[in-house]
Amino acid sequence: MKFEMPILPYAPNALEPAISKTTIDLHYGKHLQTYVNNLNNLVQGTAFENAAIEDICKKADGAIFNNGAQVWNHTFYFNTFSPKGNTVPTGVLEEAINKAFGSFENFQKEFNTASVGLFGSGWAWLSKDKEGKLVITKESNAGNPLKSGLTPLLCFDVWEHAYYVDYQNRRADHLNAIWGIIDWKVVEERFAK
């Protein structure tokens, strides 16, 4: 199986000013492309040569895991955004967030705290467990909740390449900006599965 670059569901400049075209060109066009290329080269002749990307995330380790998880994480991340982002979730997801965190505002605070507080590079995730309970986790480097049996719903990429061109070292400013471009309909669909 040959892994391919995902197609962005929006133009490279569509998320401005939250995420600039320059950042999309570098983050999506260069970083993600490198992970895709590396993964295709690494899996040749291995047990993962014809594996689904989710299986690589759950079962692989080392360079195959790192590149495979980064392909999956970035695809998930870029597909979470829309230039017409919804400001808040609705329906059953809204109810689940209120139940788990008290309010959407408290959830945002906790998610920002996890995202800002992650030392070094990695990802902050909102996921649901097997009982449907929402949890916030922090994962270093290429980590994601699939390895722990969780269902990912939302993630913030806190590697510097995700925000440094636009925000320099102001990670918190980047996080505050991307709340406005989240497509909560996509997150709600993930929650419903």
Q: Tell whether pTM > 0.85.
A: yes
The pLDDT, as a whole number, for residue 139 is 96
The pLDDT, as a whole number, for residue 86 is 74
Instruction: State yes or no: cis peptide before 12, omega within 30 of 0.
Output: no
The pLDDT, as a whole number, for residue 172 is 93
CB atoms within 10 A of CB 96: 19
The pLDDT, as a whole number, for residue 89 is 93
The pLDDT, as a whole number, for residue 183 is 95
The pLDDT, as a whole number, for residue 106 is 97
For residue 77, give both structure tokens.
Answer: 């991340």
The pLDDT, as a whole number, for residue 182 is 96
The pLDDT, as a whole number, for residue 88 is 87
Mean pLDDT (whole number) for 64-79:
97
The radius of gyration of the chain's CA atoms, rounded to the nearest angstrom, is: 16
Give yes or no for residue 1 having a pLDDT over 80.
Answer: no
* Torsion, Cα of 178, 79, 67, 160 (10° steps): -10
The pLDDT, as a whole number, for residue 85 is 76
Band (75; pLDDT cuts 50, 70, 90): very high
| Closest to 120 measured CA to CA, from 65, 82, 158 | 158
Per-residue pLDDT tens digits for 76-120: 999 999 998 777 899 999 999 999 999 999 999 999 999 999 998
The SS3 call for residue 125 is strand
| Closest to 175 measured CA to CA, from 135, 115, 103, 97 | 115
Residue 29's alpha-carbon distances to 3, 115, 125, 139, in angstroms, are 15, 24, 23, 23
Going 42 to 58 to 81 to 186, the CA torsion angle's sign is positive
Per-residue pLDDT tens digits for 107-165: 999 999 999 999 989 999 999 999 999 999 999 999 999 999 999 999 999 999 999 99
Per-residue pLDDT tens digits for 34-62: 999 999 999 999 999 999 999 999 999 99
Q: Give the domains, in start order, of the chain with CATH numbers.
A: 21-78 (1.10.287.990), 91-192 (3.55.40.20)
